[in-house]
Structure 1
Amino acid sequence: MINTAIGSLRRHALVCFKIGVEAAEPYLAVKRHMLTDGNRFGLILADGSQRYGTWPKVHVIAFGKAACAMVKAAREVIPVHLLACCIAVTNDDNVIALDGIELLAASHPLPDERGFKAAQICAEIAEAAQKDELVLVLISGGGSALLPYPVKTVSLQDKIAATDLLLASGASINQMNCVRKHLSQLKGGGLAKLAYPADVHALILSDVLGDDISAIASGPTVPDETTYADALSILESKNLADKIPANVKRHLEHGRDGQIAETPKSGDEVFAHASHTLIGSNALSVHAVMQATQANGYFMLLYSDHLRGEARDEAEKLVLFAKKTICSMGEPLAIIAGGETTVTLKGNGKGGRNQEMALAFAISAQHHNLPGNWVFLSGGTDGRDGPTEAAGGMVDSGTIQRMIAAGINPGELLDNNDSYVTLKTSHDLLMTGATGTNVADLQILLILP
């Protein structure tokens, strides 16, 4: 039974999370960066300046979890007589039927054959674009997995196997993208290379902490400063060098040895007509959550806007920070974070990094006797955490008691990476459905001393 105070905290946490997600609403973000006078099409750049183009044709390629909303906005602004083609590639949960748009569904987080075929189509569109035409690329989180276009010596199954191993190893998004760029014909500047000499402009919704443009969807339209040697070093550091498919390892080694051309770097002519604008990020969503908690009467503290590291370790650090802070506070407290933790799989359970962090927080809070009534929410802004239908978890000061009453051992299940089943048993899964956007994760801790 959840008491009245905790029930109120849970409602506040959910409202604040939804406000954070809405701050990354892709449709409005795209609209804010486009303009037209009915005949011409233009872009509003990152510095606020307007740029009308003289492009006779505009080719629109959208991919990622927010592709449908982004391409819908673009199609409503771009004059019909300029629109050469309009394609969107997204995951199954975010498919929305749209008139006049070629919509393709593919798998995430592991690539599939549908994504490979979609990538081929996008590559053909880019290659067909002519000088002085515009390839408008709308990029959002999930793009790396949704458009797998491996080099000819690496099969799609080889690339899937390598991706699977990297996911299970606890590799960061930047580490994963470094490897994927060097196995792809689109990533790491590959799309800009295919479109050259046409103009290329990307509107980017960032799911990467720090908004490193080269890491978002593995940077298909920007220079890649990582190397084949870097990719091999990552595999070595994760003990994967002898586990990945032989074709993958051979390709990376050939690249390191100079037998294969590197991904395009800064100064390469393929970027002479390429530009981009960042239109949304985790930082903007964190700011929105901070404002929402203050509006609800909480004293707000930003814990981290670059939260990284092993999910269960970061959960304990947050518990200790909260316990130390709460001792000096006599008013409702909100501690906010944003980022993207990782999970190193050691068991065979089901869950995701946000569910694992929520469960670990509940266990650690009991162990360290976190005082007061509290609620902790950790959720993915895309509404999907790992291979589950949950966005994450929302636990409270009664969570562990509910688990024990149900006859389960939360510690044992955490060690088996089985956070989904554990949180489902205590009714602490965060269920939002697919949100149509993706700007990493949000963490919200609300405490009544």
Structure 2
Amino acid sequence: MFAEIIDRKNTPYAGLVNPILSAALHAVDPYDCVYHNIALNGDQLTIGGKVYSLDEYDHIYLIGTGKAVQPMAGAVLDRLSGRISGGILIGKHDDAVYSKNLPAEIIFTLGSHPVPGPSSINSTMQLTTFLKKVTRKDLVICLISGGGSALMTLPYEPLTLTDIQSTTKALLFSGATINEVNIVRKHLDQVKGGGLARMTAPATLITLVLSDVIGDALDAIASGPTVADSSTYRDAISIIKKYELEKSLPKAVMEHLEKGVKGLVPETVKEHEDCLAKTSTLIVGSLAQAARAAQRKALEAGFQARILTTSLKGEAREVGKQLGMQLRQIAADRTPSSRPTCLIAGGETTVTIKGSGKGGRNQELALSAAQEIKGVENCLFISLATDGEDGPTDAAGGAVDGTTLQKGIHAGMDADDYLRRNDAYSYLDAAGALIRTGPTGTNVNDLVFMFAFNS
């Protein structure tokens, strides 16, 4: 499925690195991650080591949201064939392979991402209406993956979709981290920050999570719709002030947050609230899992392989510069007898958008790294969005080497200028260094690979 992530036309090393990259993505295949965490023996359902007696429940419902919700749902349905009474799933893409196999009682609907749109609200209203019928004698299985924050959206009244959109865009463009964005969004939305758990209570709720968040913080993944949230309205206002956005955000947003500080609007769900009494949450796939699989594959292929971190963060171009310098040094230190090297890092960087160009954080990181490895032989630097979608582009990231920068220069391009304008896509495209996978069906954040080969 992921055999040709790096185009063989762009680098002679594609045959060596593609199996390593593919191993990372296969390790976090949403279907497999869910399927292998569920077992059914008669009426005994085991999920993550916990056993549920299905004869104690009147109905089993399936709900969920995120970029990977369809394959995750496919795994649940295959394990619990014929036992699901109904449900609603909110996704970003409609995968025909899974859609055609959905039973009639499961509704699949689309939301908008990365900024919520009317479809996000309409789909979420369908979901919340559906949940009104669940009782304490029902079991609800909830599937959460990256993208859920935008796909599942229901603003507090009187906030409008435009209020949410403009606030989300302002935070993203300001360089706020995804965690900071989610803290603000949780306090503008009825389903985030444990809100979905409130709506599902008093039913038994099991949440299966494919994590796209550094450190796998449950309250941050898709804005934590089914878990407790420690952040407050005061925190949300502090973030807005940090990026000096208080005067540029919609008046209704600031008024709502200020009401929250005064206790006039419900806080997000906190630990020990009754609505969490019958809930459990299990992470079925994560970035660390993908990185470990890549490392194992690299070791099998004869590489010296090491995971540097799975908590990579910071401004994309600065991170790219530092990692590029590291790869340059590794290449310089090699001897004829050295084994090939594979260093792996993962996480989520940010881009402070100042220009009107085209790109994404992985492309910007890769172009910045390309500047540092200019002229270096026998190396390859890859920055990859595991969902196959880096920014609002058709690229998943970039694969650069010692020749990438020179290719752009020959085309009359200046890398510094393209980085200033946030136009890494155009530069990498001209240099034949873009990675295009299309949607991968999974989403566990970003991976960086640094390879140094034998001459």
* C-alpha displacement of 1:264: 1.3
Per the alignment, residue 57 of structure 1 pairs with 59
The aligned runs of 1:92-171 (5 Å cut-off) are: 92=93, 94=95, 96-98=98-100, 99-100=102-103, 101-171=106-176
Using the TM superposition, give the Cα deviation of residue 97 of structure 1 relative to its aligned residue in structure 2, in angstroms: 2.0
Q: CA deviation at 1:294?
A: 1.7
- Give the Cα separation in 1 of the matches to 2:324 and 2:401: 12
Q: How many residues align?
A: 439
Q: 2:33 aligns with which of 23, 29, 36?
A: 29
SS at match of 1:261: coil
2:76 is matched with 74
Distance 1:121 1:325 in 2: 54
Counterpart for residue 303 of structure 2: 298
Match of 2:404 in 1: 399
Q: Deviations over 1:315-363 (max 9, x none)?
A: 1111222333444443211111011111000111111000100111101
Name the SS for the 1:315 alignment partner.
helix
Cα distance per residue 1:60-110 (max 9 Å; x no partner): 002101111011111122242x42213221113656523313111221101
Aligned to 1:196: 201
Write the letter of the residue equivalent to 1:9: Y
Structure 2 distance, partners of 1:135, 1:126, is: 9
Q: Which amino acid aligns with 1:244?
A: L
Give the distance between the partners of 1:261 and 1:185, measured in 2 at CA. 9
The one-letter code matched in structure 2 to 1:173 is I
Deviation at 1:115, TM superposition (A): 1.1
**How far off its partner does 1:374 sit?**
1.1
- Determine which of 376, 379, 386 is the counterpart of 1:381: 386
Structure 1: 5+ residue runs without aligned partners?
none
Asked if structure 2 preserves the Cα contact closer than 8 Å seen for 1:131 and 1:198, the reply is yes
2:426 corresponds to which of 413, 421, 433 = 421
State whether structure 2 residue 437 is matched by structure 1 residue 445: no
RMSD: 1.8
Residue identity opposite 2:57 in structure 1: W
In 1, Cα distance between the equivalents of 2:46 and 2:155?
A: 32
Aligned residue among 345, 348, 370 for 2:353: 345
The Cα offsets for residues 398-427 of structure 1, whole Å up to 9 and x where unpaired, read as 101111112222221111000111111111
In 1, the alpha carbon distance for the partners of 2:150 and 2:109 equals 14
In structure 2, what is the equivalent of residue 275 of structure 1?
A: 280
Tell me what 1:91 maps to: 92
User: For residues 309-388 of structure 1, what are the structure 2 equivalents within 5 Å?
Assistant: 309-330=314-335, 331=338, 332-366=340-374, 371-388=376-393
Name the CA distance, whole Å, in 2 between partners of 1:102 and 1:412. 47
Counterparts of 2:270 and 2:217 in 1: how far apart (Å)? 15
Which structure ranks higher in relative contact order (CA pairs < 8 Å, sequence separation ≥ 6)? Answer: 1
Paired with 2:422 and 2:95, the residues of 1 have a C-alpha distance of 27
For the pair 1:223 / 2:228, whether they are aligned, the reply is yes
Q: In structure 2, the residue corresponding to 1:433 is in which secondary structure?
A: coil
Identity across matched positions, percent: 37
Q: Secondary structure at the match of 2:89?
A: strand
1:43 to 38, 41, 46: 46
Q: Does the 8 Å CA contact 1:94/1:435 hold for their aligned counterparts? A: no
Q: Is the 8 A contact 2:328 2:372 kept in 1?
A: no
User: Residue 10 of structure 2 contacts residue 433 of structure 2 at CA under 8 Å; is this kept in 1?
Assistant: no
Q: For 1:147-201, what per-residue CA distance to the aligned partner results, in whole angstroms no more than 9, with x for missing partners?
A: 1111112111110111111111111111111011101110100000011111111
Q: Deviations over 1:110-135 (max 9, x none)?
A: 11111111111111222221012111
Match of 2:16 among 12, 18, 29: 12
Query: In 1, distance between residues paired with 2:84 and 2:310?
Result: 39
Rounded to whole Å, the distance in 2 between the matches of 1:94 and 1:309 is 33
| Cα separation, partners in 2 of 1:329 and 1:364, compared to 1, 3 Å | closer
Please list the CA deviations of residues 259-311 of structure 1 after superposition, one character each: whole Å capped at 9, or x if unmatched: 21211100111101111111000000011111122222221132221110001
Which range moved further: 316-325 or 204-213?
A: 316-325
Q: What amino acid does structure 2 have at the position aligned with 1:414?
A: L
> How far did 1:365 drift?
2.2
Query: Do the aligned residues in 2 keep the contact of 1:58 with 1:133 (CA within 8 Å)?
Result: yes
Cα gap change, 1:268/1:32 in structure 2, threshold over 3 Å: closer, same or farther? same
Q: Could you say what secondary structure the match of 1:263 adopts?
A: coil
Q: Which residue of 1 aligns with 2:4?
A: none
- 1:323/1:426 Cα in 2 relative to 1: closer, same or farther (>3 Å)? closer
Structure 1 CA distance for aligned equivalents of residues 413 and 321 of structure 2: 21
Question: In the aligned structure 2, how far is the partner of 1:406 from the partner of 1:41?
Answer: 64
Distance 1:445 1:300 in 2: 10
Q: In the alignment, residue 439 of structure 2 is paired with which amino acid?
A: A
Rounded Cα–Cα distance in structure 2 between residues aligned with 1:310 and 1:317? 11
Distance 1:388 1:219 in 2: 27
Are the structure 2 counterparts of residues 126 and 12 from structure 1 closer, same or farther at C-alpha, using a change threshold of 3 Å?
Answer: farther
Query: Conserved in 2, the CA contact under 8 Å of 1:17 and 1:442?
Result: no
Paired amino acid for 2:272: G
Q: What code does the residue aligned with 2:451 have?
A: L
Q: What is the distance in 1 between the residues matched to 2:227 and 2:268?
A: 10
Amino acid of the residue matched to residue 219 of structure 1?
A: G
| Compared CA separation, residues 129 and 69, structure 1 to 2 (3 A) | same
Q: Would the aligned equivalents of 1:13 and 1:375 in 2 still touch at CA under 8 Å?
A: no
Per-residue CA deviation, residues 20-65 of structure 1 (Å, 9 max, x unaligned), is: 1111011111111222235x261322xx344434222011002101
